[in-house]
Chain A
Amino acid sequence: GAVVSQHPSWVICKSGTSVKIECRSLDFQATTMFWYRQFPKQSLMLMATSNEGSKATYEQGVEKDKFLINHASLTLSTLTVTSAHPEDSSFYICSARERRTSTDTQYFGPGTRLTVL
């Protein structure tokens, strides 16, 4: 149980284009999903917290107009990187917290590796 998927697993795009990443909880309902970014040999950096049906809460320094997050259902959250630039190249990982439990365990998706040319 507690499986989270991400799509695509990797993407290469040209500078200036937008990329959408999907995060799905496959066997549970996720009230809260989190989006992280990780650069090589660095630790996880929380970008935003997404609650179903409401606006995402962004961490300081993360541009909400550049990283659009939509959490339209209890099993799906999307992250859209708008007007991507090479410095946006990174490993993007989502995690989800199961709705029915009172714990704060986060289950991670496999990640999406974004390369912007």
Chain B
Amino acid sequence: QKEVEQNSGPLSVPEGAIASLNCTYSDRVSQSFFWYRQYSGKSPELIMSIYSNGDKEDGRFTAQLNKASQYVSLLIRDSQPSDSATYLCAVNPGSNYQLIWGAGTKLIIKP
């Protein structure tokens, strides 16, 4: 069964520090990887997508992909209290455009 694993947390990070969120996936042929942020009571919003090995930066966010080790991570620099949310990792393991979702990591940024 194709799986995406995330630590449920909560992960507590002081304001201004770097928050590091990790995700592993089971299907080696996966090609597309996504990080979504979900605030309590709201729907998910896309933060980053990554398709190639290495780092991809967008503002304070950096996604890192290592296909050989089957993990993808999200770094949030200069963490703000507004970054407190649940972060969902999603992987497309094939060609039918469905995503396999992790259960999410709850991130708490402490002022």
Contacts and interface: CB of A to CB of B under 8 A. Distances in A.
Q: Please say whether chains A and B are actual partners in one complex.
A: yes
Interface of A: 32, 34, 43-44, 46, 49, 91, 93, 97, 103-111
Given A44-B88, A46-B98, A110 B46 contact: no
A93 B88 CA distance: 15
B102 A43 contact: yes
Nearest to B95: A104
Interface residues of B, number: 21
List the 9 shortest-distance A-B pairs measured between CB atoms, nearest first.
A111-B43, A43-B103, A104-B97, A108-B43, A104-B92, A93-B43, A108-B44, A44-B101, A104-B32
B42 A49 contact: no
Contacts of A106: 34, 46, 90, 97, 99
A111 B32 contact: no
Interface of B: 32, 34, 36, 41-46, 49, 88, 90, 92, 96-99, 101-104
B99 A104 contact: yes
Most buried by A among B43, B92, B97: B43
Nearest to B104: A43
A39 B107 CA distance: 19
A49 B102 contact: no
16 contacts: A43-B101, A43-B104, A44-B101, A46-B98, A49-B98, A91-B43, A93-B44, A103-B49, A104-B97, A105-B46, A105-B49, A106-B97, A107-B46, A108-B44, A110-B43, A111-B43
